[in-house]
Structures are given as structure tokens and as C-alpha cells.
Amino acid sequence: MRRVVTSEVLSPARHRWMHGKRVEEADHLVRYVFNQCAKGVSGLGLVNVRVAAQHYCGNVIRKMILGRRFFGEGMEDGGPGFEEEEHVEALFTILGYLYSFCVSDYFPFLRGFDLDGHEKVMKKAMASMKKFHDPIINARIRQGRDGEKEANDLLDVLIRLRDADGGPLLSEDEIKAQIVELMIATVDNPSNAIEWALAEMLNRPETFQQAIEELDRVVGKDRWVQESDISQLNYVKACAREAFRLHPIAPFNVPHVSVSDTTVAGYFIPKGSHVMLSRPGLGRNPKVWDKPLKFKPERHLNNGSEVVLAEPDLRMLSFSTGRRGCVGVNLGSTMTTMLLARLELIWDPP
């Protein structure tokens, strides 16, 4: 399944193919924020950055996978309707319990008792997800896997994959499971990082001003930032990296299990051990970072070379790395940068 996702869903070619859908949602984000501002007295409305960021991420991945940003009608101002709010809430509920400690993970004989109450909550969240996803997936599968109609989204791609004998490569259950996994892997990191980045930058006006000046220099005041600008927005990306470092989405990475006895950095790890990395422990390590509790984007600027959001040296965890690392680094980096840059430009619109 990992090979399928890497080569057929999140490949560079697919990333380019989905460009128009991502740009459309970035434009929707701007309209939504402006409409929210216009609701207030004299145009001084309030924008809930968490709502804007989380639903932007939800809209992007829904558009890419299912070909639609709304399950229902949506709101007149372009914001999420009841269905989208329920969908995103279910996604973040699943994510919250995915990272949480569960006693039955370490004592499997307790699993049937659901002592933590996690199973009940997760079943409810998954039922919400299935309520929205399954009718769309079932209808699309009933339309056939013959491929006569041109593929329009990633669901079409998954449905039309073939094995060596010409039969469907993925079963219906595998497609549904993979779609849920793609959804939950997309919405949390970008939205959390940008919420914290904006909070930190508003508390440091000089940092915000420097980001605006970079946007003015690279993008100008006559258009909105586009994905083609990302390679030149080093300071904006440095702000996002600093948010990843200082305010990770969860205290630990998802647990991994060692498949054999090994030694890492002088520590012996027996086979079968659960291995977890502390995200704050890495990102705020005073042996690695100068003034680790200070929001300082300049620390990520590397003598003019391009800033990237991934961190292969494990000095922090933005997207995981290694053989079990995130295969969607390109998508996650693009969404994160576009979200931050568009929201920053709204403060200084063209």
C-alpha cells in the first residue's frame, strides 16, 4: 500500500496534476476570510484562524481525493457547513486518540474492556467519516472501473489501479481505509503550525513585517501568492519551520516497534520495543538550538539556500523521516506554505 500511495497518489506527477484544485482552495480561503471580516461593524469582523486553517486543509484534501470541497451546500460566505464541520471534527477526534496513551496497547488482554473509553469515541468518529465517504466511494465504484471516463481526482486513480492480471488492484475496503488515512495525515500538521506561527508573529511585529516585506518583494501587490513562488519565500517557510519546532502537533510521534535488537546512539533497543520520539524534546533541545524557547525564524535561514520544511537530521520533527517517514512531505509543505503566505498577505492585501 505504501508503494501504491508513493507512486500513484503522492508522486511528483500527481502533485502537479492536482495543482489547480489546491489553487482553487487557496482562493476560497481568501474569499472566506474577507467575507468573515466584512460581517463586522465597519468591516472589522473577526476571523477564527483555527477554523480557517483546519477547514482549508479539509477542503484541499477533499477536493483532491473526492473532487468536492463540500458534502452539503456550504455557507453563503464560502465557509464550512454543518457537514464539513462534523467531518473535520471527526478527523481531529481520530487524530487526538491516535496519539493518545491507551493501556490496552501494552496489555492486549484488556482490549475488550475499553477501560479508557477510546474505542467508543473512535467508533463514533469513524461512523461520521463513513457516513460522508462511503456513499461517494460506493457510487463511484458502481460507475465502473473501466476507465472510459477521464480520471478527475485521486479516488478515480485508486479505483482504476490494476494488478498484473488486469483485475482491480485494491478492494473496496482498502480504498476506503486508504482515503481515511490520507485525510487524517493531511489536516493536522499544516493547520496547527500556521495557527501557532501567526500567534507568535503577531506577538513579534518585526517578524511579521519581515515576512510581509518578503511577500511584497517576491509576489508584489498586484496578485496573490502562487505555488510557483514558494521556492523564493524562504523567510515565510522559516516561520513555518519555527512553528513546527516550537509547537509540534503532538508530544510524541506515532509509536514504532523495533523489528530486531539494535543499538541507536549508544542505547540498546530490544526487539519488540515501542519506540517514541519526543517532539518537544527534539525541537527544544538546548544542546541543539540556541535560545530554544524563543520564536526565531532566522535560525533556519541557511546562507541564501532554499529553506525546506522537512528535517532529515531529526533536530526536530516537522514531517517524519526515514523508511517509515511521511510520503506526503511535498503536499504537506506546499499546503503549509500556501496557507501561511495567503493569510499573511490578507493583512497587507494587493
DSSP string, 279-347: HHHHHT-TTTSSSTTS--GGGG-BTTBPP-S--TT-SS-SS--STTS-TTHHHHHHHHHHHHHHHHHHT
Q: Output the pLDDT for position 349.
A: 46
Q: Residue 99: CB partners within 8 Å, gap ≥ 6? A: 250, 251, 252, 254
In whole angstroms, what is the distance from residue 164 CA to residue 107 CA? 41
In whole angstroms, what is the distance from residue 131 CA to residue 105 CA? 28
Q: Would you give per-residue pLDDT tens digits along the chain (350 residues)?
A: 888 888 888 899 999 999 999 999 999 998 888 888 777 644 556 888 999 999 999 999 999 999 988 876 656 666 788 889 999 999 999 998 887 888 888 888 898 898 888 999 999 999 999 999 999 999 998 886 555 677 889 999 999 888 888 888 999 999 999 999 999 989 999 999 999 999 999 999 999 999 999 999 999 988 999 999 999 999 999 999 999 999 998 888 877 888 999 987 788 999 988 888 889 999 999 999 999 999 999 999 987 789 999 888 889 988 876 666 677 889 999 999 999 999 987 765 44
In whole angstroms, what is the distance from residue 263 CA to residue 277 CA? 15
| Cell of residue 95, nine digits | 487524530
Could you tell me the domains of the chain? 2-346 (1.10.630.10)
Q: Which of 277, 282, 205 is nearest to 246 (CA)?
A: 282
In whole angstroms, what is the distance from residue 292 CA to residue 286 CA? 6
Q: Output the pLDDT for position 76.
A: 60
Measured N-to-C along each axis, helices 49-66 and 82-98 cross at an angle, to the nearest 10 degrees, of 90
pTM to 2 decimal places:
0.90
Q: Output the pLDDT for position 322.
A: 66
Q: Output the pLDDT for position 311.
A: 86
Residue 102, annotated ligand binder? no
Say if CB 242 and CB 297 are below 8 A apart: yes
In whole angstroms, what is the distance from residue 75 CA to residue 79 CA? 5
DSSP string, 10-54: SSHHHHHHTHHHHHHHHHHHHHHHHHHHHTSGGG-----HHHHHH
User: Which residue pairs from 29-32 have beta carbons closer than 8 angstroms and sit at least 24 positions apart in sequence?
Assistant: 29/56, 29/59, 29/339, 29/342, 29/343, 30/224, 30/342, 30/346, 31/78, 32/77, 32/78, 32/79
User: Residue type at 264?
Assistant: V
Burial of 223 (0-12, 13-18, 19+ CB in 10 A): exposed
Q: Output the pLDDT for position 78.
A: 66
